[in-house]
Chains A and B, each alone.
Chain A
């Protein structure tokens, strides 16, 4: 990966052979050829998501920053959605003088589409600087200016010479990649170049190593979707064993982000999210990293923490902490486990989040009966295997889908889980079918670490106790799918697309699951 050389971030299908279409079993997915998986698409598709959204979500979290969305007016229309995230973060932190995020559309109209939009962009940057006095300006390039050939980077080079604040630039056109998680890479790329590589002060020097008696400083890469609650739990865990924490880059200032180059270790809480940035800090600043687990569930939290502790020589402290916390947490959830034991759960979220939550629900005595992940890459393989093993080899259905509720609803009708656990916007399908559903993500909740384990059990118990809202809803709403759809193979519309580089070695992947095998168990 050419993080420093490349101006444009490669799509994840290229960089790590990520796939966005598969339907079958967990075991089948792990065994499938990644190149062939990458080439699967759909002949019927529903609304996707483009990389602009995660990019916008991340970059809008930077304080005192103006976001300029270079494109037609609609691409900036979710700015107020991104603003809700940062507003609530301020509220959580008790900041009363809340300032809303500023976002601006260059509002390209037919005339710019014909004559080019570079001038409009450049003027917008200068006027934003003059009028709104932000501490940084972020530019997001969308589809339309890319197609008409606007040269974002030459505009950015020009304005960087004239303005004394950091200018962050990102090319996040929706048509460039089918894996929208690429948007995280794009945001990291913009942050690295804007605040470190091309910053007026130059890049910070490389740290020479930890001084005698100095506590290890660890970078925690946070996610815009992880709340302050979870961040506080991470901080508590690491501080407890003697680690200093620097959290960023979401919601972090330029100074805090630059300080991330001076850490002793970088810790990811989600490899899907972080690998691009972790790699940068490692290559350019020699900072070792932990990029494997996500501290959700007891076993995952343990592995994650021991991994970190071993890198900074604090194993003993970690082991003692883990033992005490685990005992305390297990005792606390005892009152909830009778409600949870034996329940069949369907999970839906970003792949890594769904998988680690799978281990958590197994620890609470529940079973994974199906999983829908937004995309697939090799980070997940190990966890599919772990999940199947943990339920005595009982395989489950997996749908790799950039949402695609038509597949999900078909699967749910066949699998009939006791509980659906999904990322925001996923729960709607389950709710319409009457299943109890709970979100896997809400920034006021705890999901991570020991507190997360307890709060999760408590919340799932609450959801299972009274599913009346969804149940009544399902009796009173109609679905847009034809009845016969529910009789079909849910993966009917997945196809392999041949591409120039691998026509020769296409291996067919079986996109089906034997649902009949589930029936005996209900």
Chain B
């Protein structure tokens, strides 16, 4: 294992007692992208850089991305396949290196072109997964996504050696963004990490997105760590926590309180990295300055939070996640085949997911105590493990109410937390 890669940087920072914080940042203009990376590098925090790609590149509509580059139309991210390599090298020149690794974030079920483009400019860190970048978010059949991700992992793994240790992060811990019970998030994250490993990747991070209840989230991250320790030998791995991925608070104090809780979740659970969200999140794509403020705030909260991880096992979240993972692994020696069978048989079943390859029998709800729970487990192997409240018909208003639960809770003014934020701000 070498010292130059994305995973090694995060490990060193963790060893030195720092949480690595990272924005989700991408602009179509090379000049603005470079300025964003520089500002991230120079923030008062231990940071890694992000190049988030645009939606056209994500869905493989390279013609539209190219047209936007030619016409100078602003996109919601950096079109790395459509900019010539020399342009992206200029964006990265003197910025990217062992002291400031840069990850390409995209969201593609067919990332071969993206991986080719990022390796062509000397990058080797990305993220996604055969399930999490397919099922909730697009139209690509799961079978094709598994094949695309197999080829992509193997292509990236071919960079190993000669000082490179390519890194992949699972997006499985963020499936749906919100209202997905943590055990399923943990299971998909672990399974995608195993998928990466079986296709030759040896530096991996596993994601988990903050949900509705801090205690349940802490249990989930502990379960994730426990399962990775068990299933990922000879692998450099770490956990990345995402600040809440659903409807974000609209007030400044609410947005900062929620981000602060995400930083606390990351540090207390012993996690190594945090993807931040900003005050602008509820309205539009944030500016560079808003991202820097979020990075510095999260770093300040992290610096004053002690590491107090829970025991990995012995929780309901662990029991459910382990049952889901084992239920898939026993289906086939080939993990890609096992994942396809699992979804076809409903052994993995994402609630409220519109994709035709998802069984669609499962349903979730927010319990009175704030924890995410199952209203229906469908055919998932959770009988006798999960507490299930029989499903009721959900109205549009009730769904919106659930989707807004975190926003509402954090927008409510809490003087004590607001004071804490004021003293933490640089």
Asked if A and B are interacting partners, one says no
